[in-house]
Structure 1
Amino acid sequence: MYFAALLARTEDGWEASDTELDDVESLSDLTDLAREASQDDDTVLVLLEQEDAWFGVVRVDGEDDPRLYVSDAVAASRSSYGEILTNELIGREYGDDDVDLDSLDLDGTEDGEPEGSTSGGEESGAGTDAEEAVATGPLGDANLLDDLGVSDRELRALDPGDALGGIAEALGASELLEAVR
């Protein structure tokens, strides 16, 4: 289950709206959605979370390139919207021939022994392709909220289940975010 919201900065503070991601197939689509919510090229934050697995922040400032952060790249790469962000962050376009995350069967056993394997002398390379394709842990620009009151250290320390609320609280927009949740 996904939750996505837009926080748009205005002269009077922040405005929040939930957003439907059904038509989002690329970072460009997500950026366009954010720009549509902007007044006078102000800052817009797209806040995404998938249950308690990962969260992501996309910051759009006017016509500048979007800035991205994902709390857990491997977990995010297993989901359609997270894959959009992680692909952008690692410089891979959807459909690239190098590593197709769908073919890696990322099922949570990448860090340990692969399913059905034995611990006898066979080489255990499960997860090697996944680890090379997507870095474990946070990925992206952890400084993207520094000027808004959330340092890189604070952003990295946020628990995925409470992260969007924590970000909104630091911005003074927690009530607005809860209203659209």
Structure 2
Amino acid sequence: MYFAALLARTEDGWEASDTELDDVETLSDLSDLAREALAETDAEDDTVLVFIEQEDAWFGVVRVDGEDDPRIFISDAAAAARSSYGEILLTDELLGKDPDAVTDELDSLDLDGTEDGESKADGDEDEEDTDGGVGAGADALPAGPLGDTEILADLGFPEKELLALDGTDALSEIADALGAAEVLETVR
């Protein structure tokens, strides 16, 4: 199961809204969605956080500050690569590769369409690496954090704490540290 929410800082604190990612195909689309949400608030600054989570598998945080390029943190890049929403966050720049290489690599991964993290029915197992990898493109994607580990440091959530999160209730822990736990829970 997926969860996605936007957090925008306003004069009265953080404001949260849940969001549908069905029409989001690229990081640019996601950034535009975040900026639109910001325009609908009385924001004191131009910071919007996008939280994306696949229950017990991975989470991602995208930070959009005004017109700057979005900053991204993914808790487990290999797990995110198996997700259509995770693919949105795994940009060429984040992976440090040229666009053609990234496209070929992601195309070779098994994206089985199990949007909710369900496993395939018995007998429909895909070939996986014997070491537990996700398939042909797993070598280039770490089974761990990827991206800007200091994405929330200036908001009161240091790198060390971000890297220590295990995925279970991670977004709630982040929101709690930011003083946004209550508003996040209202959109869960």
| Band of TM-score, shorter chain | 0.7 to 0.9
CA drift of 1:84 comes to 1.4
**How many angstroms does 1:128 deviate by?**
6.5
Runs of 4+ in 1 over 3 A off after TM superposition: 91-98, 104-111, 126-129
1:113, 1:74 → 2: CA distance?
11
Of the candidates 101, 104, 119, which is equivalent to residue 99 of structure 1? 104
Which amino acid in structure 1 is aligned with residue 156 of structure 2?
A: G
Map of 1:123-138 to 2, 5 A cutoff? 129-132=137-140, 134-138=141-145
1:110 equivalenced with 2:129 (yes/no): yes
Name the count of aligned residue pairs: 169
Are 1:62 and 2:66 matched, yes or no? yes
Matching residue's letter, 1:27: L
Alpha-carbon distance between aligned partners in 2 of 1:29 and 1:73, rounded to the nearest angstrom:
20
Structure 2 gaps of 5+ residues are 112-125
Q: 1:128 to 1:35 in 2, by over 3 A?
A: same
Q: Distance in 1 between matches of 2:156 and 2:102?
A: 40
Q: Map of 1:1-181 to 2, 5 A cutoff?
A: 1-38=1-38, 39=43, 42-88=46-92, 89-91=94-96, 99-105=104-110, 109-110=128-129, 112=131, 129-132=137-140, 134-181=141-188
TM-score, normalised relative to structure 2: 0.80
Letter in 2 for 1:78: R
CA distance in 1, matches of 2:102, 2:86: 19
* Bigger radius of gyration: 1
Aligned-partner residue type, residue 183 of structure 2: L
Contact 2:109/2:136, CA 8 A, preserved across alignment: no
Across the aligned residues of Structure 1 and Structure 2, the Cα RMSD in angstroms comes to 2.5
Change (3 A) 1:113 1:78: closer
The question of whether the paired residues in 2 share the 8 Å contact of 1:111 and 1:127 is answered with no
**Separation in 1, partners of 2:157, 2:127:** 30
The offset of 1:161, in angstroms, is 1.8
Instruction: Report if the CA contact (8 A) 1:149-1:170 is conserved.
Output: yes
CA offset at residue 47 of structure 1? 0.3
- Is contact 2:8-2:37 (8 Å) kept? yes
Q: Distance in 1 between matches of 2:127 and 2:166?
A: 19
Taking a change above 3 Å as real, the CA distance of residues 26 and 92 of structure 1, as seen in their structure-2 partners, is farther
Deviation at 1:81, TM superposition (A): 1.0
Q: Alignment identity in percent?
A: 66
